[in-house]
Structure 1
Amino acid sequence: MTLRELIGSFWPGRREKNTPRPTTRGPVTHVVILDGTMSSLRDKHETNAGITFKLLRAAGPRAGLSVHYEPGIQWRDWRSTGDVVAGRGINRQIRRAYGFLASRYRPGDRIYLIGYSRGAYAVRSLAGCIDTVGLLKRNHATVRAIEQAWRHYRAGGQSQAALRFRLAYCLNDVRIEAVGCWDTVKSLGVRLPVLWKFMNDAHAFHNHHLGAAVKNGFHALALDETRLAYEPVLWQSREGWPGERLEQVWFRGSHGDVGGHITPYLRARPLANIPLVWMLGRLADCGLPLPEGWAAAFPQDVNAPSIGRFMGWGKLFLSRRSRIIMEDPSESYHPTARPDAPLMAAPNSGGPGPSVEKQRETGESGASAR
């Protein structure tokens, strides 16, 4: 039985997509993309993570790319409501991505991890697992060994058993070229109004620092989001981190704008393209191969309307406050989001929320610095 069959039997209901293995054997670029809850790859419905997957998939295996994409939890019927609300499945998602890398990686290859929302939380945890335990060698990448590596990671990876496991079965010098995140939120799922406050967070073992295995970290954040259920999880800088760049940049718009999760309000796409192009540019600077002239496909407009925070379920989120910004040295404004930059256009007229201009007048939006 192949590793794919083993994983399929152990973790049913998988929806991830893997590109074929590269046709030529040289250094391979492995990319893991984990999307947000209720994401889709339907044309014009993709998040920024989904667009990135399609952009890389189009390059094909001839470009030396090996890509793993998985959407977030999907609402299929009422039986899946608990999974969506509680965010159950994130640990299985991380283990699947870990297994993908372990089964394909060879020394000399490069790794990039990309995620949106809850998927961003997942790729950060995946980076932490590789940093803490190492990456299983290909010949040891069995379901049982993946489970074992995960248990050691959850326990902190400092026990004698964990150290023996790492030395015996794992590659210990794996570097991650970059981790790119759009507006990371905690591991809970949709976080429905009121109910999100009562959901247990079973993922407290994940830390908020970039590990030594990560060379670069890029985080796009939503300046105008106010729903407490979408409170962001920023990286915390620490002295002695051996990486090269850590950038956490604030963009205009809500959680959906920054992550490109704007269906059905597609007029917001030019606004969502701003953090998309910024992120892809940063990843390209770190060596991620992108098609020539890729940026021209994503027109940007800071004056495009925002999807806002009141569309659909959004209007039912009663707990709100401005985000706290500029607490970490790695934080900055994108040029289009600086306080002295021209204000963006009002959010969609179909939502009951006030315009961004009005929100800033009343203090309901616009993050505050400490």
Structure 2
Amino acid sequence: MKNIVLCFDHAHGQPGTHDATNAAALLRLLAQTDEQLIWYDPGTRARPVRSGLPAVGGADAGESRTAIAEAYGFLMRHWRPGDGIFVLGVGPSGIRARELCRLLATFGVADDRSRHLLDYALATYVLPRTQRTRQDWARVSRLAARLAGRREIGVAVRYLGLWNTTVAAGLSSSHPAEPLRNTRSGRHAVAIDGGLFPTQLVTPADDGLETVWFRGTHRDVTGGPGACWPLADIALDWVLDGAVAAGVILRDGAGECAPAPGEQDALAGTAPAVSRRRLPADAVVHASVEVYLRAHPQYWRRLPARVVWADPDWLARGERLVPMAGQAPHVVRHTGRAALTAAS
């Protein structure tokens, strides 16, 4: 049995030393061996639309369908029963990650007998002009199961990691309100202080899929050009922690450049908010925000009257990088992404 990690990035060209998104930064911490295969899509490069998959809703939808089809094809070639599937997505590409999870819940990993039905589903159900209902998805899933000669066809996703999933104009999820029932665990880091596009939250099927709000704008949560890196590291650390708990394998030496955020990172300044989001009542907010509130109590105005604090032990996680007695520490704050770039 092995892990298969599929990453939908939203990179702008070739990321420089400090320009990698959190999805790319996490990916560079992972081992790539026979026990863990990695598939990566940059998310923004121009590509031809696959034959039979028209660009419904414009170029973004067509490109997204192509990326999802390529990720699915990678699974068809490499996945075997018992393998663990890990899916990552950042910003607008988080929609692609979620659509892949929904496709796996509906079709599992298809074989040649279901190929034509799969092509139909990619063209008709993934990022459609009109949202599909639960009944629509159930109907096509039953048909796929009959073609495969099985009663149940869905395949589980062991972990889904997302950073501030946003919806660009003309592009939306197939059915955003429907929970991802095949996703065993996951973490979605969401920006409190807004961005240019609306955020699309994940509806959990159970307590395994967490949505937690972090201080900062879109870039401060996703990483990438213009990010406040101390804040981005906090969101990266939280999603990484969930992936490790789910069984992802880190490469040798990953601890030397993994994020280890502390209180000073939580106090970092950032650019003024483009828009101020209205958080849901009883929003789950990362405990790093509590550190900032002690120094800047006026920030309470950004939060609902009542919040639930998540990840109270986030500061203690940095201790995993503390060296043994007699060893020199090897973690340098805010140069970790340079090390990640050099190691990739």
What TM-score do the two structures reach when normalised by structure 2? 0.71
Distance 2:175 2:12 in 1: 23
Distance 1:43 1:141 in 2: 43
Deviation at 1:183, TM superposition (A): 0.4
Summarize the Cα distance change of 1:213–1:335 in structure 2 as closer, same or farther, 3 Å threshold. Answer: same
Preserved contact between residue 326 and residue 369 of structure 1 (Cα < 8 Å): no
Distance 2:199 2:240 in 1: 21
Preserved contact between residue 20 and residue 223 of structure 2 (Cα < 8 Å): yes
Distance 2:96 2:272 in 1: 24
Summarize the Cα distance change of 1:339–1:210 in structure 2 as closer, same or farther, 3 Å threshold. Answer: farther
Preserved contact between residue 108 and residue 153 of structure 2 (Cα < 8 Å): yes
Amino acid at match of 2:192: L
Distance 2:215 2:179 in 1: 25
Is residue 2:20 matched to residue 1:46? yes
Deviation at 1:150, TM superposition (A): 1.9
Structure 2 residues not aligned, in runs of 5+: 48-54, 127-131, 307-344
> Partner of 1:73: helix, strand, or coil?
coil
> Partner of 1:176: helix, strand, or coil?
coil
1:178 to 132, 135, 159: 159
Is residue 2:137 matched to residue 1:157? yes
Amino acid at match of 2:78: R
Deviation at 1:285, TM superposition (A): 0.9
Distance 2:248 2:72 in 1: 20
Q: How does 1:1-370 map to 2 (within 5 A)?
A: 27-36=1-10, 38=12, 40-56=14-30, 59-62=31-34, 64-74=35-45, 87-88=60-61, 89-137=63-111, 139=112, 144=116, 146-151=118-123, 153-154=125-126, 156-159=136-139, 163-169=142-148, 172-186=153-167, 188=168, 199-201=169-171, 203=172, 205-225=174-194, 227=195, 229-237=196-204, 241=205, 243-263=206-226, 268-291=228-251, 294-297=254-257, 298-300=259-261, 301-306=265-270, 308=271, 321-327=275-281, 331-338=283-290, 341-343=293-295, 360=299, 366-368=302-304
Preserved contact between residue 322 and residue 368 of structure 1 (Cα < 8 Å): no
Amino acid at match of 1:336: S
Summarize the Cα distance change of 1:152–1:104 in structure 2 as closer, same or farther, 3 Å threshold. Answer: farther
Q: Which has the higher contact order (CA 8 A, sep 6+)?
A: 2
Deviation at 1:157, TM superposition (A): 2.9
Amino acid at match of 2:6: V
Residues 251-292 of structure 1 deviation map (CA, whole Å, 9 limit, x = unaligned)? 1111001011134x6xx3222111101110011111112246
Structure 1 residues not aligned, in runs of 5+: 1-26, 77-81, 189-198, 311-319, 345-356
> Partner of 2:89: helix, strand, or coil?
strand
Percent identical across equivalent pairs?
24
Preserved contact between residue 325 and residue 369 of structure 1 (Cα < 8 Å): no
Distance 1:75 1:51 in 2: 22
Preserved contact between residue 40 and residue 50 of structure 1 (Cα < 8 Å): no
Summarize the Cα distance change of 1:106–1:284 in structure 2 as closer, same or farther, 3 Å threshold. Answer: same
Summarize the Cα distance change of 1:173–1:326 in structure 2 as closer, same or farther, 3 Å threshold. Answer: same
